[in-house]
Amino acid sequence: MASPFSGMGDPEIHGTTRTTLAAAGTLLDSSDPVQIIDCGGAARDVTLPAERAGKMFIISNISDAAEAITLKNDAGTALATISQYQTAWCFSDGTGWTTVLGAAATVQT
């Protein structure tokens, strides 16, 4: 039986960026796949790049208050809301993004 992920291409997981946002953010195709984000005092939008088979992001909200990240695709459609201390796994099959929200994370700085 073929893997349900076989059409996605080779997954890419390497590299981490830690960011404090002062405004909405946009991830690029070349952005590190692990994004640790502090919202910087307010709820923020984060936009994913255009869909590409095999592209993945793990996005963790480490804000120190109840500040949410609204995750959007490149067309501006909201995909998920990542609450304080939540993490989302986003992956593309080349035609769309699938997002899986995880439970609260333990944050150590």
Check pLDDT > 50 for residue 18: yes
Encoded tokens for 104 = 């609260």
Position 3 in a domain: no
Per-residue pLDDT reduced to its tens digit, 29-88: 999 999 999 999 999 999 999 999 999 999 999 999 999 999 999 999 999 999 999 999
Position 99 in a domain: no
Cβ–Cβ under 8 Å, residues 64 and 90: no
58-92 b/e (C-beta count within 10 Å ≥ 16 → b) = bbbbbbeeebbbebbbeeeeebbebebbbbbebbb
Position 31 in a domain: yes
Q: How confident is the model at residue 19 (pLDDT cuts 50, 70, 90)?
A: very high
Position 40 in a domain: yes
How confident is the model over 91-107, as a mean pLDDT?
Answer: 82
Position 106 in a domain: no
When divided into structural domains, the chain yields a total of: 1
Position 19 in a domain: yes
Position 82 in a domain: yes
What stretch of H or E contains 16?
A: strand 16-20
- The parent domain of residue 31 ranges over 10-93
Query: What per-residue confidence (pLDDT) applies to 32?
Result: 93
pTM, whole model, 2 decimals?
Answer: 0.81
